[in-house]
A and B are shown apart, each in its own frame.
Chain A
Amino acid sequence: MNAAVQVSNLRRVYKSHIGAFRRKVKEVEAVKGISFEVEPGELFGVLGPNGAGKTTTVKMLTTLLIPTSGTATILGYDVVKQADAIRPRIGFIFGGERGLYWRLSGLDNLKYFSALYQIDPAISKQRIPRLLELVGLADRANEKVEGYSRGMKQRLHIARTLLNDPEVLFLDEPSIGLDPVAAREIRQVVRDLREQNKTILLTTHYMFEADELCRRIAVINHGAIIALDTPANLKRFARDLAVVEFQVNRVTPQTVERLKGLPFVDAVSVEEREQNSLVIVQSPRGSEAVPDLMAQLNGSAIQKVSVREPTLEDAYVRLVNQADETEDG
């Protein structure tokens, strides 16, 4: 079976000019020769931190950017030479509220994009109400978009991207900045689309989202793919680890560095919360490491300690740390 999306050694360099008179060209390699395939009907995840190259990759695949080198095909069509053949067959959204006409109603936005997608008016007339129903905006369709919540705007984006009944969908961080309820609604819509056998490439930096939705995940960091596998197999990267979590009042950067320096510690990350901080330590010693770790956290006012099994997020943190260390070394 031919791949719906085929990417081979794709590379993208951004050039910018510095200085007014003696202008120097500064080059940034955002995507460093990545390769992967997405099968028809697959929900494929691209997971990575901010600035990893996820959006640049999606923009190249949706014909918005021309790759510096390498090739990519969508449904067999080349993204550079056959962009006109690709555009009617794909849909894409980029995370965030922008990209809609706020002064118009949700319905008018969809009617407008439908005409630009050159969809037969008779088909649009049936499809638009169905899409509004699918994304739960049927009763607010005649209101101006400027009055919509962030989640509603994102759902309208999804309706927009389905107007042409695309064969391949590119969803770039669709749940970014949404509250938990709105993000859950978006994930439900994505799940529904997966049921309809759409080929979907989803980028996200939310691990649970990728874990819950994707059949395979490519982990991308600094423009390179550092792992590509099923969520279950990716979790095995961290199976020899246990995760110790300390809920503390405060933690200094010096303490974090001390923890990282311990020979039995694999990785340390800190989640800042409103009332306290969560120090997450990965170590193969698990609960046995707790007394030594607590000794290092002396003065951080520990409120709670727990030991748990590794998740996809832990595997991801380990992968990214390993990749960073390799790059630095």
Chain B
Amino acid sequence: MSLKYARAVFAAFRMTYLSLVMDSFFIFATLLMPLIYALIAFGILRDKGAHYGIYVAIGSGLAGLWSTLLFGSGNAITSERWTGTLENIAALPTPLWVIVFGKTLASTLQSLLSMMVSYLLGWLVFGYPLTIAQLPEFFGVLFFGILSFVALGLMLAPAFLLNPQIQQFQNAMEYPVYILCGFLFPVALLPFWTTPLSYVLSPFWTARALQSAAGGTLTLDQLAFDGAMILALGVIYLGIAALLFRVVLRKARVDATLGLQ
């Protein structure tokens, strides 16, 4: 069963990626837009010192990643409505959440590529090195952090099955995560009652571990704790997403909203 799901995830990933690459906008989004962002960001950071740059890079990178996931998971369903394929894939042996997981991974990869191009440009064009003190730990946390991110985005996707108009509320879901996970400023500045909310969001633990790894202060204890939180929350998100997909799909079959555009 799990091998069949893995194949389906890969197929959805490949199909989405091929569709993205076939689109001429892909070149603009992956190469030209990062160049514009790099120009702005590294212009602002010109006199701040190399150490400061990596913190901004992690925060803005994760914020960008969350936006991509939020829109990617929603669009994974909305785009199927546009092409008229939602009904075709909703009545297949592979659960819909598995397909959306694969599709969201593909948009995440595009976002990562875009970010890498952006940082590479900052380094090559502006001579702004992004120093990461604990490189293997950094990329290990990043890999599992992204999987956990995708699972978080997946929990929101079922809402898009109910009504195509839900897209209008996508933007409203961006900033709560930016703020609660400390992408824009440290969570210590937030009121105390918000702390539990930060703790149940895996991007909070990802950002914390990434910043420590970049600064060279990530201890083995912190790595184990933050890593366990990232993985555990990711598994919980997946379980909730699978349940929500099942409940919402049944409601969509009652309300006849699968065929809507």
Contacts and interface: CB of A to CB of B under 8 A. Distances in A.
Contact of B83 (A94, A102, A111): A102
B7 A115 contact: yes
Given A98-B83, A98-B85, 16 more contacts: A96-B84, A100-B85, A101-B83, A103-B22, A104-B18, A104-B22, A111-B11, A112-B15, A113-B88, A115-B11, A116-B8, A116-B89, A116-B94, A118-B7, A118-B8, A164-B93
B256 A65 contact: yes
A59 B7 CA distance: 27
B13 to A, nearest CB: 10
Interface string B84-104: 110111111110000100000
A292 B6 CA distance: 73
In the complex, the 10 A-B pairs of residues with the closest C-beta atoms, listed nearest first = A98-B84, A115-B11, A118-B4, A103-B22, A88-B93, A66-B253, A116-B94, A112-B15, A99-B84, A103-B19
A64 B93 contact: no
A88 B93 CA distance: 6
Contact of A94 (B11, B87, B93, B253): B87
B18 A116 contact: no
A103 B24 CA distance: 12
A64 B90 contact: yes
Nearest to A94: B87
B243 to A, nearest CB: 15
A121 B253 contact: no
Contact of A66 (B8, B11, B12, B250): B250
Interface of B: 4, 7-8, 10-12, 14-15, 18-19, 22-23, 83-85, 87-94, 99, 250, 253-256, 258-259
B85 A99 contact: yes
The SS class assigned to the B binding surface is helix
Given A87-B92, A118-B7, A64 B87 contact: yes
Interface string A76-104: 00000001100110001010101111111
A14 B83 contact: no
A117 interface: yes
A63 interface: yes
A94 B87 CA distance: 10
A116 B253 contact: no
Contacts, number: 85
A71 to B, nearest CB: 15
A121 B7 contact: yes
B253 A65 contact: yes
A108 B18 CA distance: 9
Contacts of A88: 93
Contacts of B87: 59, 64, 94, 99
A144 B250 CA distance: 34
Contacts of A98: 83-85
Given A94-B87, A118-B7, A108 B253 contact: no
Interface string A136-154: 0000000010000000000
Interface of A: 14-15, 59, 62-66, 83-84, 87-88, 92, 94, 96, 98-104, 108, 111-113, 115-118, 121, 144, 160, 164
Contacts of B99: 116
Nearest to B22: A103
B106 to A, nearest CB: 12
Given A63-B91, A112-B15, A101 B8 contact: no
Contacts of B84: 96, 98-99
A164 B4 CA distance: 14
8 contacts: A63-B91, A64-B258, A66-B254, A87-B91, A87-B92, A99-B88, A101-B15, A121-B7
Nearest to B95: A84
A280 B91 CA distance: 43
B67 to A, nearest CB: 24
Nearest to B4: A118
For A14, A15, A112, A116, which residue has the most chain B Cβ atoms within 10 angstroms? Answer: A116
Given A66-B250, A98-B84, A99-B88, A117 B93 contact: yes
Contacts of A84: 93
B91 A92 contact: yes
A282 to B, nearest CB: 37
Contact of B11 (A99, A102, A112): A112
